[in-house]
Amino acid sequence: MPGAPNKPPDVDAPLPVPTPGSDRVQVALRRLAPDRIVLRLPIWRGAPNVDLVKPLERAASTLTAGEFPDAEKALDQFAVRLAEPRWPTIPEPWIRLRVTIPAPQPPHWDPDSKLTPADRDAKKARLWAETQLLLAKAAVELAPSLSIDLTDMQACVIEAQTVFEREGATAGFWTPLDRLWETVRDRVPLPTPGAARTGPPAKLPPGIAPEEA
């Protein structure tokens, strides 16, 4: 729109907002652990594309090394890649891990444009907490079908749900979820990426047989 200031709207999936006192490792793990599980879903037929596995490998290694900016950048790259249309349809709630890059639009088109920064952050934080709870429930429910043992983590989900209904996304809400995601990190290895797709054979000049090329 000529002459109008453009501002990208909020992305489709709510991005995590660190809660007071949160450790950066925990904040990153709340993204990395569900990401590990989404690549175990049967939609990938056991071998997700290397374009998806590599960002998570970088995120895991840089997080272990304490290189938090690089880990967060890798997680962002994974979230954007996961939104590419070439992948299979990702079911709920895992689809919430995708982040699309929206087209610029005038600020007043953003439905949250009239909220104060504090209110926008509070809304985003609550949406992310709700997403985390849904992901935690789905992880525990789907674990047996994915050959993952999370039976001892059911209590963490129940505890988080109880605290969320009573207090919202307080430190008491994140504590059991962080225990769950730490267990996922320890028990769910990154998958082996599928073989890279090769392009069609190159066209040969007329009169040259393949064995002569």
At 84-137, the pLDDT tens digits run 999 999 999 999 999 987 777 777 677 777 778 787 888 889 999 999 999 999
Cross-strand partners of 84: none
Domain positions in the chain? 24-108+115-190
Confidence of residue 9 (pLDDT cuts 50, 70, 90): very low
Residue 63 CB-density burial (10 A; 0-12 exposed, 13-18 middle, 19+ buried): buried
Residue 185 CB-density burial (10 A; 0-12 exposed, 13-18 middle, 19+ buried): middle
What average pLDDT does the segment 12-24 reach? 56
Instruction: Render pLDDT for 47-94 as a digit per residue (tens, 0 to 9).
Output: 899 999 999 999 999 999 999 999 999 999 999 999 999 999 999 999
**Within 13 A of 17's CA, how many CA atoms are on the CB side?**
20
d(CA 81, CA 51): 8
d(CA 52, CA 40): 12
C-alpha triplet 57, 59, 62: angle, nearest 5°: 105
Q: What is the pTM assigned to this prediction? A: 0.78
DSSP string, 114-143: TS-HHHHHHHHHHHHHHHHHHHHHHHHHHG
Residue 117 CB-density burial (10 A; 0-12 exposed, 13-18 middle, 19+ buried): exposed
Work out the percent of the chain whose per-residue pLDDT is above 90.
63
d(CA 39, CA 49): 9
Instruction: Render pLDDT for 143-168 as a digit per residue (tens, 0 to 9).
Output: 999 999 999 999 999 999 999 999 99
Distance from chain centroid for Cα 9: 19
The encoded tokens of residue 65 equal: 């090394």
